[in-house]
Structure 1
Amino acid sequence: MAKKADILIRFGERVRELRAERGYSQEAFAHICELDRTYVGGIERGERNLALRNIERIAESLDISISELMKGL
């Protein structure tokens, strides 16, 4: 049985997918979230363990609920 990818990697892939669907560059998205672009890059690569407040910022910036952001993880 294949091991499921780490939650940080799956979350980062989800954020990248939703950001790209909305046509945001990483830099523009970081600005909307009020986060540093390098931090957003780290999230998308699964290198950052986010605080709940930053998860909330990301969901709000994508105009979705936290549960929708977490869908499929």
Structure 2
Amino acid sequence: MSDPSNIIKQIIGKTVKAIRIKQGLSQEDLAHECNVDRSYISMIEVGRNEPSVTKIFDLCKGLKIKPSDFFKLIEIEYEKARESE
């Protein structure tokens, strides 16, 4: 299996981006909601930055999604990635 840490970073980024776009938010909008810089959101979305659990909770608040639902989405995508290897 590829590096699980890298796979998880990629999945977190894709999930954040998908939810953000679905809700019609720009990176700037989400960054404002989470009190972070827009470049931080960009780094997460491209999988170059792995947010802490605290930041994930902030992101979930900004995305108006429960952290438990967010982690379920991550888990589902992670299992798909593992099965495809």
* Band of TM-score, shorter chain: 0.7 to 0.9
Q: Which runs of 5+ in 1 are unaligned?
A: none
In 2: Cα distance, 1:26 partner to 1:16 partner: 9
**What secondary structure sits across from 1:17 in the alignment?**
helix
Partners in 1 of 2:73 and 2:26 — Cα distance?
A: 23
Shift of 1:71: 2.3
Measure, in 1, the Cα distance between the counterparts of 2:42 and 2:59: 13
Q: Deviations over 1:44-66 (max 9, x none)?
A: 00111211110000011111111
User: Taking every aligned residue pair, what percent have the same amino acid on both sides?
Assistant: 31
| TM-score, normalising length: structure 1 | 0.87
Provide the TM-score with structure 2 as the length reference. Answer: 0.76
The equivalent residue for 1:39 is 40
What's the offset of the Cα at 1:13?
A: 0.2
If each structure's helix is expressed as a fraction of its own residues, which one has the higher value?
Answer: 2
Query: Unaligned 5+ residue runs, structure 2?
Result: 75-85
Question: Highest Rg: 1 or 2?
Answer: 2
CA RMSD of aligned residues (A): 1.7
